[in-house]
Amino acid sequence: MRAVVTRVNQASVSIDGAVYSEIGSGLLVLLGSEEGDTQKDIDYIRDKVCGLRIYEDAEGKMNLSLQDVGGEILIVSQFTLLGDARKGKRPSYIRAGAPAEAKGIYDQAVESFKSTGISIKTGVFQAHMEVASVNNGPVTILLDSRKVF
């Protein structure tokens, strides 16, 4: 499982020109499921995202997590995170989870994030979405449950 985590002042998902969901201060999490992902992968990503110390403390040092500052999370499924463009110019998505499997993993991940008590908003799996964000910093972190990078 891969995630791109961006600290935002606000973020939203629109579908067919209408805002589907939005958050204020928090994290925009683009989430991609890899073939064979399990609850262990979900737990790893959830714990990392919720615990990332990427918010400034009183001294201006990145020492606080989203849980410490009370922000929200917007989770958007994005299978293209598993694209492999090392050969040629057309990415291969062979490692991305098949849609039925990936939807189940995405739904499990959303429920797992909700169990933390953090306010969670989502996009719609396999929908064509317009994602808008006002990045804060900018601060963007890449996560991979298999620790590929």
Whole-angstrom distance, CA of residue 112 vs CA of residue 5: 17
CB 78 within 8 A of CB 30: yes
Choosing from 6, 78, 113, 122, the catalytic residue is: 78
Residue 79 falls in the annotated catalytic set: yes
* Annotation says 113 is catalytic: no
Residues 6+ apart with CB under 8 A from 41: 1, 34, 105, 145, 146
- The token pair at 61 is 């040092």
Catalytic residue among 80, 122, 125, 149: 80
Residue from 79, 108, 122, 125 carrying the catalytic annotation: 79
* 125 is annotated as an active-site residue: no
Catalytic residues: 78-80
